[in-house]
């Protein structure tokens, strides 16, 4: 099969186009012919070496955390999928590799592709949609009437999180450029802060939840808009010792995480606010629930650009400009 390989960690390193053997599915695995793969900044961070202490990857490796495709074969213990099924997934950590023509995915990570979505649209959903679900539903248990601030509303994650938060009955504020105001309002944002000309912390107050994937300054300023008893969830760091324990990291790395998050945890605690770092996980069951919301029209994909497979490196370069509104996707089988 054709695939793009990362041969060595390094910022801006180009992936190598290579011929590799097809993966062999185990008893619980589903072999998927990939039609489209979504790109995420997580892939860029792994390529740059940012997660070397946290994730079990050693080059050469295939990057890619999002897929949509068709089942070609199933393992002997697989019961929920059959050859010919159209599926989408975020493969679990340790088994990524969607920038390839085929991948073997654990059955538990897969869901049927939502009816009505193209393969490219479906490929852009799993990681960001699961992140939104796990933050808003699983971790924060957002209820009708809650006030939620979602930073960077025009991005891949923000565009889905706004829609899910509105579906849950929340009042939603977001930060975006002035050029993106109409877009995020159309997704459901009630309050839009132009981050280029406005300071969100001078406008918003008494919020129940902030979800932040931005820099440390934005994270710290987010504390000021939350009410006592509110919650600050970061999807970009700093990680906590609880996260390190959940990942099974050793004692030394746990203490590193404790130190890295000490400042923001202290500030949060002084204001009566809970701080959490969240690193999303694969979950086919949750993805199926999100698929049902997509089919019902509660959530729609927001696409920025679709690149052909042979332009994967160019797609990464575009993603890293930070100008994408919605998802950047690589199409392995155009027209399907």
The CATH number of the domain where 62 resides is what? 3.90.180.10
For residue 251, the model assigns a pLDDT of: 92
Q: What is the pTM of this model?
A: 0.96
Is 190 inside any structural domain? yes
Same domain, 71 and 178: no
Q: How confident is the model at residue 162 (pLDDT cuts 50, 70, 90)?
A: very high
8 Å CB contact between 30 and 19 = no
pLDDT at 53: 75
In whole numbers, what is the pLDDT of the chain averaged over residues? 96
On whether residue 257 sits in a domain, the answer given is yes
Q: Is the same domain home to 164 and 271?
A: yes
Q: Name which of 41-50, 141-150, 327-336 the model is least confident about.
A: 327-336
Residue 241 in domain: yes
Report yes or no on 322 lying in a domain.
yes
Q: Is the dihedral of CA 233, 54, 132, 37 positive or negative?
A: positive
* Banded model confidence at residue 335, pLDDT cuts 50, 70, 90: low
Residue 141 zone, left/alpha/beta (φ > 0; ψ -120 to 50; rest): left
Residue 336 clears pLDDT 80, i.e. is over it: no
Same domain as 192, residue 113: no
Q: What is the mean pLDDT of residues 51-55?
A: 79
Confidence of residue 239 (pLDDT cuts 50, 70, 90): very high
CATH code (residue 218)? 3.40.50.720
Per the structure, the complete domain to which residue 313 belongs is given by 2-125+302-331
| Average pLDDT of span 290-312 | 97
In this structure, the answer to whether residues 230 and 311 fall within a common structural domain is: no
Structure confidence by residue, pLDDT tens digits, 323-334: 899 999 999 987
Contacts of residue 36, defined as CB under 8 A and 6 or more positions apart, other chains included, come to: 67, 68, 69, 118, 119, 120, 122, 123, 306, 329, 330, 331, 332, 333
- Same domain? For 134 and 189 the reply is yes
Answer yes or no: do 217 and 195 share one domain: yes
Within-domain flag for 287: no
Contact 235, 131 (CB under 8 A): yes
Residue 39's pLDDT band (cuts 50, 70, 90): very high
Could you give the percent of the chain with pLDDT greater than 90?
A: 91
Percent of the chain with pLDDT over 70: 99
- CA dist 260 and 238 (Å) reads 6
- 260 and 131 share one domain: yes
Task: Look at residue 171 and tell me if it is in a domain.
Answer: yes
147 and 168, same structural domain?
Answer: yes
pLDDT in tens, 259-300: 999 999 999 999 999 999 999 999 999 999 999 999 999 999
116, 36 in Cβ contact below 8 A?
A: no
Q: Is residue 120 part of a domain?
A: yes
**Per-residue three-class SS string for the chain:** CEEEEECCCCCCCCCEEEECCCCCCCCCEEEEEEEEEEECHHHHHHHHCCCCCCCCCCCCEECCCCEEEEEEEECCCCCCCCCCCEEEECCCCCCCCCCECEEEEEHHHEEECCCCCCHHHHHCCHHHHHHHHHHHHHHCCCCCCCEEEECCCCEHHHHHHHHHHHHCCCEEEEEECHHHHHHHHHHCCCEEEECCCCCHHHCCCCEEEEEECCCHHHHHHHHHHEEEEEEEEECCCCCCHHHHHHCCCCHHHHHHHHHHCHHHHHHHHHCCCEEEECCCCCCHHHHHHHHHHHHCCCCCCCEEEEEEHHHHHHHHHHHCCCCCCEEEEEECCCCC
More confident of the two residues 112 and 250: 112
Residue 332: per-residue pLDDT? 96
The answer on 70 and 154 residing in a single domain is no
pLDDT at 241 exceeding the cut of 80: yes
- Whether 36 maps to a domain, the answer reads yes
Beta bridge partners of residue 71, listed in sequence order: 32
Question: Do 237 and 157 belong to one domain?
Answer: yes
Question: Which of the pair, 245 or 55, is modelled with greater confidence?
Answer: 245
44 with 67, same domain?
Answer: yes
Cα–Cα distances in angstroms (integers) from residue 81 to residues 7, 112, 128, 196, 220, in the given order: 33, 8, 23, 47, 45
What is the average pLDDT across 6-32?
96
Total domains in the fold of the chain: 2
184 and 142: one domain? yes
């Amino acid at each position: 099969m054709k695939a793009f390989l990362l041969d060595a960690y390094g910022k801006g390193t180009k992936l190598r186009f290579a011929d590799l053997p097809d993966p062999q599915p185990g008893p619980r695995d589903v072999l998927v012919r990939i039609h489209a793969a979504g790109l995420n900044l997580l892939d860029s961070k792994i390529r740059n070496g940012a997660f070397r202490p946290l994730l079990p990857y050693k080059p050469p490796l295939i990057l890619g955390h999002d897929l949509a495709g068709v089942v070609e074969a199933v393992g002997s213990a697989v019961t929920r999928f059959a050859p010919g099924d159209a599926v989408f997934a975020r493969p679990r950590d340790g088994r990524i590799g969607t920038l390839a023509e085929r991948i073997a995915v654990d059955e538990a990570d897969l869901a049927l592709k939502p009816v009505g979505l193209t393969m490219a649209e479906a490929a852009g959903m799993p990681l960001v949609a699961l992140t939104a679900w796990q933050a808003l539903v699983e971790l924060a248990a957002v209820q009708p009437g809650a006030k939620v601030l979602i930073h960077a509303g025009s991005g891949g994650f923000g565009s889905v999180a706004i829609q899910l938060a509105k579906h849950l009955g929340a009042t939603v504020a977001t930060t975006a450029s002035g050029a993106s105001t109409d877009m995020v309002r159309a997704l459901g944002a009630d309050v839009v802060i132009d981050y280029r000309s406005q300071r969100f912390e001078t406008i918003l107050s008494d919020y129940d939840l902030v979800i932040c994937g931005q820099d440390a300054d934005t994270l710290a300023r987010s504390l000021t808009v939350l009410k006592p008893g509110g919650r600050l969830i970061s999807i970009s760091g700093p990680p906590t010792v609880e996260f390190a324990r959940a990942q099974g990291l050793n004692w030394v790395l746990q203490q590193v995480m404790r130190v890295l998050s000490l400042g923001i945890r202290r500030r949060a605690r002084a204001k009566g606010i809970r701080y959490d770092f969240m690193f999303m996980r694969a979950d086919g069951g949750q993805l199926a629930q999100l698929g049902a919301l997509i089919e019902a029209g509660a959530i729609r994909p927001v696409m920025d650009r679709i690149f052909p497979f042979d332009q994967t490196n160019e797609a990464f370069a575009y993603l890293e400009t930070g100008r994408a509104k919605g998802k950047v996707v690589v199409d392995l089988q155009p027209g399907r």
